[in-house]
Structure 1
Amino acid sequence: MSDVSGKWDCVTKSPLGELKTVLTVVVDGNTFTGSNSGAQGSMDITDGKVDGNTLTWTMDMKVPMPMVLECNATIDGETLTGGVKAGAFGTSPMSGTRAA
């Protein structure tokens, strides 16, 4: 199992443009907590699950409109790839690298 814990510098290509965030992952067995912070503010991770090097979680977005985001990411060494599903807006691709 790879080490998925830590901070990840991420870019999500959303309908609002590229959103840069820092994803913080704190693993505890098969679950994790943390946050995703950027220019729009910070969102806590809820229902975080770890399956090998794959993460799934949700976040309760407030800005620019309230909605639950469904997220997934696969960690491969120092890189992260995944997506953020924002209801009717579909899934936006997300990529990132481990923060220094």
Structure 2
Amino acid sequence: MSTGVAGTWHLRMRTPIGTIDADYRFTETDGGLTGTAVGAGETTTLDDVVRTPTPEGERLTWTQRVTRPMRLNLEYDVVVTGDTLVGHSRAGRLPRTAVSGERTGDRRRASPDGPRVVGRAEGPVPVTVHDPISE
């Protein structure tokens, strides 16, 4: 089992418009922890990344600005335990969104559109949005 937060993670956000998949990379630096996210056709920088030890695991909070599927300022609050994380995100007054994820490293992941590689991929990574209304 891996320890710490640094590495590549695949996250799923269960929103009112469907489940959004995205890939996150956290990196240890002299100044703490930094991160980026790739999803919905854009790459964003994670701001204000804070890691706090808790009895349940490492609590991780950050903010993120996205423009797809709409322009939002997101606040994340998750707990990392080994190679999994769970928590929520919030965009202003909108309801909380359940967030779950797992560490991916260089492992292959399958999606409904076929296999894809996450981790050290160069360039954009495909994102799948599951729309429960049309399924």
Runs of 4+ in 1 over 3 A off after TM superposition: 28-31
TM-score, length-scaled by structure 2: 0.66
Alignment partner of 1:60 is 2:61: no
1:97 and 2:102 equivalent?
yes
Aligned identity (percent) is 27
Aligned in 2, Cα 1:85/1:40: closer, same or farther, shift over 3 Å?
farther
In the alignment, structure 2 segments of 5+ residues that lack a partner are: 108-135
Query: Any unmatched runs of 5+ in structure 1?
Result: none
1:75 aligns with 80
Q: Distance in 1 between matches of 2:77 and 2:97?
A: 11
Q: Does 1:85 align with 2:86?
A: no
CA-atom RMSD in angstroms? 1.7
Cα deviation code 1:7-45 (max 9, x no counterpart): 111111012200011111113367321111123422210
Say if 2:35 and 2:45, in contact at 8 Å, map to a contact too. yes
> Aligned partners of 1:60 and 1:94: how far apart in 2?
16
CA distance in 2, matches of 1:18, 1:63: 14
Give the TM-score normalised by the residue count of structure 1. 0.87
